[in-house]
Amino acid sequence: NWTTGNVIEEQVAAIREQVGDRRAICGLSGGVDSAVAAALVQKAIGSQLTCVYVDHGLMRKGETEQVEKDFVAATGVQLKVVDAEERFLKALAGVSDPEEKRKIIGREFIRVFEQAQAEIIADEGPAVEFLVQGTLYPDVVESGGGTGTANIKSHHNVGGLPEDLEFQLIEPLRKLFKDEVRMVGQELGLPDEIVQRQPFPGPGLGIRIVGEVTKERLDLLREADAIARVELTAAGLDRDIWQCPVVLLADVRSVGVQGDGRTYGHPIVLRPVSSEDAMTADWSRLPYEVLARISTRITNEVKDVNRVVLDVTSKPPGTIEWE
């Protein structure tokens, strides 16, 4: 008989048994799965776990603070935050092609994460043998069901470490579906903003700026996105919407009139969708008053934005994200 309490007890016992007095590392992304997996492992082995959060500078407003403050407060987890914003921005400078952006972000992420891992191992010794992953049941099925070890290359800058470190995996969510993971997270006392979070892509806002990614553009998009999120939440629409990407068309300008003068600013696109699994999606029929409020606030409050447009394309043919 399935209860979240049983799942937690069972997993805590299994993790303690598996890890013993050795140590584990877990990467946090800000998403539900890694947060719940980390919280479970923390409950089981406490300070034998170290979490790593790579701040790539592409998160939305408040998300990094949520991990640094709220998640740590709720779990007591030992957290290493790597501020890699500059590194990512430098690597992304001059790049507009979506696939190129994804490749760069993925590559830099692995490098930064491996370096952090190597530093933890250098500090804590060879007992760091486990890597926690937020693998869910659908992921297990998709990948053919095998359990295993991860072969993670240590960063070559850090001396004295073996070339290849073998980690054993801890995957406490392997038997769970998404809604069950959310229940477990809630039971573990994680904040609602983390447990109920809608999907957000790993490359973050980097693939929601059509054009080159710069700090100024990210800041602008963060403001617009924060307004849309606040208003959608206030209207009670979070559960109706699968997610709502907010996109900056950085290379497009259009003429507007604001205050006493003519403006020549960028459009922001709202992309609210409803979906079951993100494979297909329909555009959400949001109430006009909510759209109006978001539009008015964004054009009033966000510098250089003078137009808000609504994406009314289903998937297919349009993907959910613009890039």
* Residue 71 beta carbon to ligand XMP: minimum distance, rounded to whole angstroms: 19
Q: Residue 11 — φ and ψ, nearest 5°? A: -70, -40
- The answer to whether 321 contacts ligand XMP (rule: CB under 6 A) is yes
- The answer to whether 319 contacts ligand XMP (rule: CB under 6 A) is yes
- The answer to whether 203 contacts ligand XMP (rule: CB under 6 A) is yes
SS3 sequence of the chain? CCCHHHHHHHHHHHHHHHHCCCEEEEEECCCHHHHHHHHHHHHHHHHHEEEEEEECCCCCCCHHHHHHHHHHHHHCCEEEEEECHHHHHHHHCCCCCHHHHHHHHHHHHHHHHHHHHHHHHHHHCCCEEEEECCCCHHHHHHCCCCCCEEEEECCCCCCCCCCEEEEEEECCCCCCCHHHHHHHHHHCCCCHHHHCCCCCCCCHHHHCEECCCCHHHHHHHHHHHHHHHHHHHHCCCCCCCCECCEEEECCCCEEEEECCEEEEEEEEEECCEECCCCCCEEECCCCHHHHHHHHHHHHHHCCCEEEEEECCCCECCCCCCCC
Q: State yes or no: 277 annotated in a binding site.
A: no
Q: State yes or no: 230 annotated in a binding site.
A: no
Q: State yes or no: 33 annotated in a binding site.
A: yes
Query: 243 or 299: whose CB is closer to ligand XMP?
Result: 243
CA angle 79, 3, 179 (to 5 degrees): 65
Largest Cα–Cα separation, the chain: 70
Query: 70 or 321: whose CB is closer to ligand XMP?
Result: 321
- The answer to whether 172 contacts ligand XMP (rule: CB under 6 A) is no
Query: 165 or 205: whose CB is closer to ligand XMP?
Result: 205
Query: 44 or 232: whose CB is closer to ligand XMP?
Result: 232
Query: 204 or 265: whose CB is closer to ligand XMP?
Result: 204
Of the candidate spans 12-20, 134-142, 161-169, 195-203, the one that interacts with ligand XMP by CB under 6 A turns out to be 195-203
Q: State yes or no: 34 annotated in a binding site.
A: yes
- The answer to whether 315 contacts ligand XMP (rule: CB under 6 A) is yes
Q: State yes or no: 29 annotated in a binding site.
A: yes
Of the candidate spans 149-157, 174-182, 201-209, 218-226, the one that interacts with ligand XMP by CB under 6 A turns out to be 201-209
Choosing from 27, 30, 201, 265, the residue that interacts with ligand XMP (CB under 6 A) is 201
- The answer to whether 152 contacts ligand XMP (rule: CB under 6 A) is no
Classify residue 304 as exposed, middle or buried by CB count within 10 Å of its CB (0-12, 13-18, 19+): middle
* Residue 321 beta carbon to ligand XMP: minimum distance, rounded to whole angstroms: 3
- The answer to whether 278 contacts ligand XMP (rule: CB under 6 A) is yes
Query: 226 or 320: whose CB is closer to ligand XMP?
Result: 320
- The answer to whether 202 contacts ligand XMP (rule: CB under 6 A) is yes
Q: State yes or no: 211 annotated in a binding site.
A: no
- The answer to whether 199 contacts ligand XMP (rule: CB under 6 A) is yes
Q: State yes or no: 224 annotated in a binding site.
A: no
Per CB under 6 A, residues contacting ligand XMP are 102, 199, 201-203, 243, 278, 315, 319-321
Give the residue ranges of the annotated binding site: 29-35
Give the residue ranges of the annotated binding site for ATP: 29-35
